[in-house]
Amino acid sequence: MNNQNGHHSWPEKVGIIDVEIYFPSFYVDQNELENHDNVSKGKYTIGLGQSKMGFCSDREDINSLCLTVVEQLMQKRGLSYSQIGRLEVGTETIIDKSKSVKTVLMELFKESGNHDVEGVDSTNACYGGTAALFNSVAWVESSAWDGRYALVVAGDIAVYAEGNARPTGGAGAIAMLIGPNAPIVLERGLRSTYMEHVYDFYKPNLMSEYPTVDGKLSVQSYAKALDKCYDGFCRKAEKLHKTKGKKCFTLKDLDAMLFHTPYCKLVQKSLGRLAFNDFLRNSGSELEDQYRGLEMYRDLKLEDTYFNKEVEKAFVDHSRTMFEKMTKPSLLIAKEVGNMYTPSLYACLVSYIASQSIEALQGIRVGMFSYGSGLAATLFSLRFSDDISKGSPLRALHDSLQSIKHRLASRMEVSPKRFTEILKLRDNTHHQAPYTPIGKIEDLFPNTWYLEHVDEKHRRSYLQKKETPCIQRNGCITKMNVMNCESTKVAEDFCKVSATPIRLSESVQPV
Ligand SMILES: CC(C)(COP(=O)(O)OP(=O)(O)OC[C@H]1O[C@@H](n2cnc3c(N)ncnc32)[C@H](O)[C@@H]1OP(=O)(O)O)[C@@H](O)C(=O)NCCC(=O)NCCS
């Protein structure tokens, strides 16, 4: 069979070749926020499982976040923009009802002369990134593929009105390079989707950044979608792999299980919920002895237990060892940055890769649960490459993500009072035109794109904070590039870097 590119077969092993993440340079501490919000001590840190929350000043919007992360990925890979044939953005941070973020990103492609780039934006709450990923993988696997890479971008600014949802905010963006012979492959024929019409979280007020949230319904909807997707996934896996007399698919068939993460506590409960699903699905099987002491829950129905605290606790306890191994390493960024919405699940993937030794990643199989309110959800799985040799794509990806902890530590802490003022400013000036942001440029990470101005016709212009290559510190030269930041204190102590801006149209290097 010939595809359009003249190849004799369809591409194999289509998946994620590389990933880059961007999170803002500011955070508020959740301990401090508990004091400020006058809630009981431990509500945000223990009850929700969050330690810090990233946020943006009025200098950043969805376009600037995506510009930053796309450029970071392209530079890291040393890729030419002409090597990209598809670019899709998943986001629910809508600043224009017509113009896509994707079209703004095309400015980065200008100097390469490449305008032949398919794809626009996908929106459904936190699910848009997954839709963009599936579309891009499908493009590479299709007759329309022209042999080039696809880029998937997921980005959001998650901010809530004052009240109980505010500590579950966050912000950030992910860019993923998609192509054949990838070190992380989406397993074919093995994903399960659940969609339903629910008003659990939505954004009907287009003049505000804030959603309308029914928190309890959103937690219930997440659990229901997880149950439904897992059931469908298990059935498909059992059909595909009916081998060696083993009938039931369980969590033990996965090496890691990652979740869309609105807050970390929900994820630990969700792994417990999958263990409860396994327990109910494995009734009477040879696996029964694994569930000693849980027999009294045998006749329960999933749909009657969304808020059953006793069942929740029993299965969180039962799955604790699995959680430590399969899921906890994926929560590094979620705990420190918060809910990024569309990038959340992929930030978990980045965290998981960054937290493991390369040997621990060899050939593993990872479950991925994507959830977007409203609702759209899918459970799918990834296979990591067996090749971890020197210079292998998986090792290169793993090594490139080792700076994450430094990058998190080099952020700037902002008091809850200042955080509240900044969110108030964003709220008051959202959709204002003309408008010139007032947030300090020197507080941004080097190389960050930022909003320069919104003109009277709502047209936005962007600049890039130029990297200062080196600074002198105690006689040592330290590169002031957050990707290679050697000292965790560098950005805090020495972030007096040049703010010499680069205009959007001046920024692209000839290839
Ligand atoms: C998630 C959300 C509903 C929680 O708000 P809330 O109702 O005020 O929070 P709760 O009173 O239930 O407290 C949260 C948890 O902290 C616990 N908690 C409260 N105070 C505590 C304290 N001092 N120490 C320890 N834990 C505490 C509660 O017991 C609760 O635990 P549980 O979930 O195991 O019952 C809210 O933040 C929200 O709407 N977020 C946005 C929507 C969202 O993220 N949905 C998730 C699915 S998409």
241 pLDDT band, cuts 50/70/90, is confident
The answer to whether the CB of 43 is under 6 A from ligand 1 is yes
Question: For residue 279, what are its two tokens?
Answer: 């327990």
Do 229 and 377 contact (CB within 8 A), yes or no?
A: yes
Amino acid 245: pLDDT? 58
Q: Over 80: is that where the pLDDT of 497 sits?
A: no
d(CA 480, CA 491) in angstroms, rounded, equals 8
Is 265 known as a binding-site position? yes
Amino acid 6: pLDDT? 56
Amino acid 494: pLDDT? 30
Amino acid 472: pLDDT? 40
**Helices vs strands, H then E, count in the chain:** 15, 19
Output DSSP code: residue 508. P
From 71, 92, 336, 467, the catalytic residue: 92
Amino acid 496: pLDDT? 32
Closest CA to 184 of 347, 334, 349: 349
d(CA 459, CA 107) in angstroms, rounded, equals 14
pLDDT in tens, 61-72: 999 999 999 999
51 pLDDT band, cuts 50/70/90, is very high
Q: Over 90: is that where the pLDDT of 495 sits?
A: no
Q: Over 90: is that where the pLDDT of 485 sits?
A: no
Q: Over 90: is that where the pLDDT of 507 sits?
A: no
> How far is residue 494 from each of residues 25, 174, 487, measured CA to CA in Å?
14, 26, 10
Output DSSP code: residue 101. H
Average pLDDT of the chain to the nearest whole number: 90
Domains identified in the chain and CATH numbers: 15-413 (3.40.47.10)
487 pLDDT band, cuts 50/70/90, is very low
Residues 6+ apart with CB under 8 A from 13: 180, 181, 182, 185
The closest-lying atom of ligand 1 relative to the alpha carbon of residue 269 is 34
Burial of 506 (0-12, 13-18, 19+ CB in 10 A): exposed
Amino acid 491: pLDDT? 34
Q: Over 60: is that where the pLDDT of 484 sits?
A: no
**Ligand 1 geometric centre to CA of 51 (Å):** 14
By most ligand atoms within 8 Å of CB, the mutation choice from 51, 164, 307 for ligand 1 is: 164
What is 249-288 written as a DSSP string? --GGG-SEEEE--SSHHHHHHHHHHHHHHHHHHTTTSTTG
pLDDT in tens, 81-114: 999 999 999 999 999 999 999 999 999 999 999 9
Amino acid 286: pLDDT? 62
